[in-house]
Amino acid sequence: MTRSDWQHPIGDELYERAKRVIPGGIYGHQSPVYLVDGAFPRFLCEAEGCRVRDADGHEYVDFLCSYGPMVLGYRDAVVEAAAERQRRLCDSGNLPAPNMVELAEKLVSITAGADWAMFAKNGSDVCTWALAVARRATRRDLVAMVEGTYHGVHGWCNPARRGFPDGERSGIVTFPWNDAGALEELFRKYDGRIAGVIATPFRHEARHDSVMPGEGFLQAIRELSTRHSAVMISDDVRAGFRLSLAGSMHHFGVTPDMTVYSKAIANGYPLSVMLGSDALRKAAEDVFVTGTFFTQAVPIAAAIATIGEIEKRSAIEHMDRVGRRLCGGLTARARAAGLAVTISGPPSIPFLSFVADEGRLERSRTFAAVAASHGAFFHPAHNWFVSAAHQDADIDFALDAAEAAMAAVAREHGKDAR
């Protein structure tokens, strides 16, 4: 079988079975409709380091990292050993395990602006929880968010809205990314009512190029929040642990009042955390939020090991370096193929789009499909991630796949005028 003939009969059959017993077959962000249906695998069976293997046995160098969590690479030996040690003691319990305190202390010691930590499972959990803390602390009803930003699936921010009444969004007001003047206007219009402002450190919406914060934008959110006694919340669920261990807002020179993390915190184990400043401690205590699995000890052990290894291996610097190698290589190969591309986002969380697509993602889909058939897993519409497990040789392998994919794009869609 040549690589370009990759078929997925086992995965296709599983998908047919799934559709009979699971609405949509595979739902949410993992639905095949968001990849290139028919050209991509639908199920993964194994993963190690930066490589994943699908249900039909094809192997890929992976640039999605499970949508972010795999910051050290799949099945990292140190993290797995720590998780296994804790698994032998206790995972879900009547009471938290002592390691909850250890992780909270660690996070408080490294995160800019954080004096306390509370744990949950998903990014959605802690985004919603942070809004409740801000409202309780200020006794105000509204929260400002950037229009169109993804903060999870709860009613106040669910992007599809279907099934969630408009009333659930009644406490939300929005302003455009990189428009501090619009936020200032919101503070004027809703004088004394805005409890907090929630924002991601850079804009990374699916189907769009990533947009870095403009000069002074995050600083303006900080300054306006302080001036109006509102709480600045950093949603660092996606970018966290890839730009700075002190938080991605810190990387951009800003200290928020609250930071929420999930994804990469425990290298794939389910955990999220809400961190906040002393001024919000009482409000955090007042708000009643809990979950049966929120303090599970195995993910907490994995998080302690993950953060320790990120520090020990200088993983952030490594990801930045291999990310730059990837982005530079993609730029060169696109140019050689006669294609105009945009590479956006930080090098460790990059995204590539084709200028001539004008947002339609047609070339992106061709690119991702052909790259997959050459053994590189690039998402056509969602930002990518690199991990500490990606080495130069993996990047170079993926660049060869990308070269074949660029050639296919030029063949199918034409070259761009120079």
- Which residue has tokens 């804790």? 86
Nearer to ligand PMP, 195 or 349 (CB): 349
What's the min distance (Å) between Cβ of 29 and ligand PMP? 7
Q: Which is it for the CA torsion 399, 404, 410, 412, positive or negative? A: negative
What's the min distance (Å) between Cβ of 259 and ligand PMP? 12
Distance (Å, whole) CA 392 – CA 371 = 18
Nearer to ligand PMP, 153 or 343 (CB): 153
In a 3-state reduction of DSSP, which class is residue 184?
A: helix
What's the min distance (Å) between Cβ of 120 and ligand PMP? 9
Distance (Å, whole) CA 280 – CA 272 = 18
Distance (Å, whole) CA 287 – CA 289 = 6
Nearer to ligand PMP, 114 or 199 (CB): 199
What's the min distance (Å) between Cβ of 176 and ligand PMP? 17
- Which residue has tokens 């928020």? 256
Nearer to ligand PMP, 235 or 257 (CB): 235
Nearer to ligand PMP, 11 or 68 (CB): 68
Residues, the chain: 418
Nearer to ligand PMP, 137 or 157 (CB): 157
- Around Cβ 122, how many Cβ atoms within 10 Å? 18
Q: How far is CA 199 from CA 54, 58, 149, 237, 247, in A?
A: 35, 38, 8, 11, 13
Indicate the residue type of 124: S
Nearer to ligand PMP, 32 or 329 (CB): 32
Which residue's CB comes closest to ligand PMP? 123
Question: Which two three-digit tokens encode residue 229?
Answer: 């006694």
Nearer to ligand PMP, 151 or 390 (CB): 151
Nearer to ligand PMP, 152 or 256 (CB): 152
**Are the CB atoms for 263 and 69 separated by under 8 Å?**
yes
What's the min distance (Å) between Cβ of 416 and ligand PMP? 31
Nearer to ligand PMP, 103 or 126 (CB): 126
At residue 146, φ and ψ (nearest 5 deg) are -75, 130
Question: Which two three-digit tokens encode residue 404?
Answer: 């074949």
In a 3-state reduction of DSSP, which class is residue 260?
A: strand
What's the min distance (Å) between Cβ of 379 and ligand PMP? 12
- Shortest CA distance to 148 belongs to which of 60, 208, 63, 227? 208
What's the min distance (Å) between Cβ of 269 and ligand PMP? 12
Judged by the rule CB under 6 A, the positions of this chain that interact with ligand PMP are 122-124, 127, 150-152, 200, 235, 237-238, 262
DSSP string covering 53-109, please?
Answer: EETTS-EEEESSGGGTT-SS-BT-HHHHHHHHHHHHH-SS-SS--THHHHHHHHHHH
Q: How far is CA 320 from CA 169, 348, 385, in A?
A: 37, 5, 10
What's the min distance (Å) between Cβ of 414 and ligand PMP? 34
What's the min distance (Å) between Cβ of 69 and ligand PMP? 9
Rg (CA), the chain: 22
What's the min distance (Å) between Cβ of 330 and ligand PMP? 23
**Most distant CA pair in the chain, distance:** 66
**Are the CB atoms for 266 and 293 separated by under 8 Å?**
no
What's the min distance (Å) between Cβ of 200 and ligand PMP? 5
Nearer to ligand PMP, 122 or 267 (CB): 122
